Amino acid sequence: MPTEQDGRATPQSVSIDLDDVPTGRRSFHVALVSGGMDSTVAAAVSQEVAPTIDVLAYLDTGTGLDANREYIEDLADALGAQLWTLRTHESYAEKVRENGYPGPSRHGMMYNFLKERQLGKLAKGRDDLVLWTGVRSHESERRMAHVEGVQEADRWTWVAPIHDWTKQDCREFLDERDLPENPLWDTLGRSGDCFCGCFGSREELIDLEAEGYEDHAEWLRNLDTETDDETTLWAWASLSEHQQRAARVDEDQMTLCSTCAVPDGGEAGGE
Ligand code: SF4
């Protein structure tokens, strides 16, 4: 449970070793925001405990809701932070046209062009890119065992300042700081930043329609496709538990896809 000093999160309340976080003159610190509650809290916490947060960054997958992007803009204003939107230049619609709707087996490919490449470009020419995220170990049993506060990856360093916080901790922090909340948390139960569909279900489209986003649901449902293979169409919910366990993903994909039902490398589920 986070504690406070002078109304701010402290290194005592955030159990990461700040000595492990790159702080050199050429280090570049980015708080990744998706519109979800965890990344919102983590961005605010990061501003309080990081040596610096240079920018907030939103990975715009081109599949998310405008309402989510607008929330992130409001959040950046509330935090007094510069916001960079890293939008994929590749088209989800074009991928669907060429290959059909993706299922779990194509998550790696979708993750790569929707998110990973944007981070790769951000890392280019930078010695020490530090990515602050809202990943939490309480999201699942496997993360409980694997998530660390600071993790070195090939091209950057992941920092998860709220890795050991509970959902209740996040809610309390939000209230205490009076941070803006995304209306989508209550309506859709998620941020609405992307809809690759790899682990989606048709019910998500029905939820979108029920909450007034009929146009977005219709767009997702009616993308042209040159294949007649519909076996992967938003098929995650129709897979058996055994099939879900078979759809493993690596740690990076788990870090940035934590709000979808991405399997924990063998244990189906998620938030
Ligand atoms: S699995 Fe979820 S979070 Fe990851 S790219 Fe697909 S829709 Fe986005």
Q: What is the pLDDT of residues 191-240, one digit of tens each?
A: 889 998 887 777 788 889 999 999 999 998 888 777 665 455 554 445 55
* Ligand 1 geometric centre to CA of 177 (Å): 28
Q: What is the mean pLDDT of residues 50-55?
A: 96
* CA 141 vs CA 13, 111, 268: distances in Å: 22, 23, 10
User: Among 114, 118, 232, which is best to mutate for testing ligand 1, by the most ligand atoms less than 8 A from CB?
Assistant: 114
Question: Best mutation site among 109, 188, 196, 207 for ligand 1, i.e. most ligand atoms within 8 A of its Cβ?
Answer: 196
- With 60 as the cut, is the pLDDT of residue 100 above it? yes
Q: How far is the CA of 111 from the centre of ligand 1 (A)?
A: 7
Q: What is the CATH number of domain 24-256?
A: 3.40.50.620
pLDDT at 121 over 90: yes
Q: What is d(CA 131, CA 163) in angstroms, rounded to the nearest whole number?
A: 14
Write the residue with the smallest CA distance to atom 2 of ligand 1: 260
What residue ranges do the domains of the chain occupy?
Answer: 24-256
- The half-sphere exposure of 95 on its side-chain side, counting CA atoms within 13 A, is 23
Which pLDDT band holds residue 102 (cuts at 50, 70, 90)?
confident
Residue 169 CA, chain-centre distance (Å), reads 19
For range 144-169, the mean pLDDT:
89
The residue contributing the CA closest to ligand 1 atom 3 is 257
Span 41-56, mean pLDDT? 96
C-beta of residue 101 within 8 angstroms of C-beta of residue 232: yes
| Mean pLDDT, residues 85-108 | 88
Closest ligand 1 atom to residue 114 Cα is 5
pLDDT category, 107, cuts 50, 70, 90?
confident
Give the pLDDT confidence score for residue 257 in this predicted structure. Answer: 81
Within 6 A (CB) of ligand 1 lie: 107, 110-111, 114, 194-196, 198-199, 257, 260, 262
Ligand 1 centroid to residue 254 C-alpha, Å: 9
Which amino acid, residue 111? Y
Q: What is the rounded average pLDDT of the residues 89-99?
A: 90
β-bridge partners, 15: none
Q: Are 188 and 208 a contacting pair, CB within 8 Å?
A: yes
CA of 257 to the centre of ligand 1 (A): 5
What phi, psi does 187 have (nearest 5°)?
Answer: -85, -55
The ligand 1 atom nearest the CA atom of 195: 7
- State the Cα–Cα distance between residues 39 and 45, nearest whole angstrom: 10
Quick one: which atom of ligand 1 is closest to the CA of 259?
3
Exposure letters 232-244 (e unless 16+ CB within 10 A, then b): bbbbbeebeeebb
The top-scoring range by mean pLDDT among 101-110, 182-191, 229-238 is 182-191
Cα–Cα distance for residue pair 224/102, rounded to 1 Å? 13
Q: What is the pLDDT of residue 267?
A: 33
